[in-house]
Amino acid sequence: MKTLLKNGVVYQAGKMLPNDLLIADGVIKALGTDLSELVTSETNVIELNGRLVAPGLVDVHVHYREPGFTHKETIKTGSKAAAHGGYTTVCAMPNLDPVPDTPERVKKQVELNETDGVIKIKQYGAITKGLKSDELLDYAGMKAAGAFAFSNDGCGVQTAGTMYQAMLAAKKLGMPLVAHVEDNSLLFGGVMHAGQKAKELGLPGILGVSESSQIARDLLLAKETGVHYHVCHVSTKESVELIRLAKAHGINVTCEVSPHHLLLDEEDIPANDGFYKMNPPLRTKGDHAALIAGLLDGTIDMIATDHAPHSIDEKTGDMRTSAFGITGSETAFALLYTHLVKEQKLLSLGKLIDLMSKAPAEKFGFDAGQIYAGAQADLAIFELETEYELKEADYLSRGINTPFTGQKVFGQTYLTLVDGRPVYQKEGEK
C-alpha cells in the first residue's frame, strides 16, 4: 500500500518546502511538488491542506512505569501518549520494579516495549544495582540484551568512584552514560527550589548546588574517561555554565532541558500545589534566562520531556507529600511552539523541530529525525494555525499531572506515522 501526503509543508534539510510526500513499504519514496506519475488507483491519498510535515519527534527521557507501577502508566498508554504528541522514538528510563539491571531483565523489558509500544522505544539499562547501591553491573550483557545507554534517572550516583568505574565501562562499550545529577547530602528534605517562593510558602527548598556540584564532579570524570556523558534536565545557571566550559575544553558532554523549565520559573508556582512539584524544581528567573541562552548558543543540545505520570492521589495536596514529576509527551510541542516560537519569537520553527528530533537522534546515533527519500517514514504532522485548549479528557496518558492543562495553544498533532503506519490520528479525521 502506498500513501501520498498531499499539499503539506515539509520540513526538510532546514527548509520549509510546499511538497507532496510518497510513502511505500514504510519508507519515504519521493518528495516533490507533483508526484502524480507515481500515484495509482490503490494509493491512499491524505490531503494536508498546508499542514506541517515534520520528522517524528525524538524524546530521550520518558518514564513508562511498567512493570511495577502500572496504575501510573503502561507501555501501551505511554507510547500512545507520545504518538499523540508527535513522537515516533522515545527512550524509557529504568526506574521500574524490577529494575532492568541484568541482561535477562533488559531483554524482557525490550521485548515488552516492542510488543506493547505503538512507537519505537529504546531502553536504558541501570548504572547500579537497583539504582541505589554502588554495585556495578554486567554492562556488556545489558548492551547485548538491547540496552542503548545506561542511566539511574531518578537517583544521582552518589560516589565518584562508582561513577568513574561506570564511565570506564560505558566508554569501553561505546555507550552513553546518562546522568540524573543530584547530591543527596545537599537535599535537606527539599520539595521545591530553595528560593524566595519556598520562603513565602514555608516549604523546604532544594539547593541549586545539589545539581551543579555533581555535574562539576562528573565533567572531570568524563574528561578522564572520555565517555559520552549526557546530563538529564539541567535547571540552574551554574549547570549551564559548567557544561559550556566543558564543551570549550573538548569534554564529550551533551545535555537536555525539559519544556517546563523553558516555560516556567519559581514565581509561576501559584500555591502549595503538587502539580508544580518536579525534580529538578522550577528555579529562579535568572536560571530560566540561562537555560534559554544555553539553548540558543548550543550549550544545551536538545529538549526532552521527562514525561513522569503519576496517579491523581499521588499529585494532589501538599508538596511535602506529593510525588515529583509532571507529564509532557502530549503537550511539549504545542506549548513550545506557542510560547517560544509564535509568541516570544525566541526560536524559529525549524530550530524547535531540530531540538526535538534531529539533535537527539544525532547525539544518540538513532536513525531518525530527518526527512529525505529513503528514510524511514517516521513523521509528525501538525496543525499550526488553529488554536485549541489542552484538556484532561484528551490525554491518552494515564497521568493527567501537568500544570499546563487549560492553556490555549497552537500546534496540535494531526497525524503521527511510524514506518508509514498511522499510530495517532486526530479524532474525527480520516
| pLDDT tens, position by position, 394-428 | 999 999 999 999 999 999 999 999 999 999 999 86
Among candidate residues 214, 210, 160, 153, the one with its CA nearest the CA of residue 187: 210
Give CA–CA dist 65/153, Å, rounded. Answer: 13
Question: CB of 3 within 8 A of CB of 22?
Answer: yes
Helix or strand or coil: residue 364? helix
What are 256's three cell numbers? 537536555
Which residues, at least 6 apart from 410, have a Cβ–Cβ distance to it below 8 Å?
334, 337, 338, 342, 383, 384, 385, 386, 387, 388
pLDDT in tens, 256-307: 999 999 999 999 999 999 999 999 999 999 999 999 999 999 999 999 999 9
3-state secondary structure of 163: helix
Q: Are the CB atoms for 158 and 212 separated by under 8 Å?
A: no
Measured CA to CA in angstroms, residue 351 lies from 95, 113, 354 at distances of 31, 30, 5
Q: What is the pLDDT of residue 123?
A: 98
Q: What is the mean pLDDT of the chain?
A: 97
* Long-range Cβ pairs for the range 103-107 (8 Å, 24+): 103/138, 103/141, 103/142, 103/144, 103/145, 104/145, 106/141, 106/142, 106/145, 106/146, 106/147, 107/145, 107/146
Residue 341 cell numbers, joined: 516560537
Q: List CB contacts of 425: < 8 A, sequence separation 6 or more.
A: 414, 415, 416
pLDDT at 133: 80
DSSP per-residue string spanning 83-143? HHTTEEEEEE---SSS-S-SHHHHHHHHHHHHHH-SSEEEEEEPSBGGGTSS-B--HHHHH
Question: What tens digit of pLDDT does each residue of 132-189 get?
Answer: 889 999 999 999 999 999 999 999 999 999 999 999 999 999 999 999 999 999 999 9
At 40 the three-state DSSP class reads coil
Q: What is d(CA 58, CA 61) in angstroms, rounded to the nearest whole number? A: 9
Q: If pLDDT is split at 50, 70 and 90, which confidence band does 429 have?
A: low
pLDDT digits (tens, 9 = 90+) for 174-213: 999 999 999 999 999 999 999 999 999 999 999 999 999 9
| Residue 306 bears catalytic tag | yes
Q: Which of 153, 183, 306, 378 is catalytic?
A: 306
Check whether 5 has a pLDDT greater than 80.
yes
Strand 87-92 relative to strand 120-125, pairing: parallel
CB 412 within 8 Å of CB 371:
no
Kindly indicate the confidence band of residue 1, based on its pLDDT and cuts at 50, 70 and 90. confident
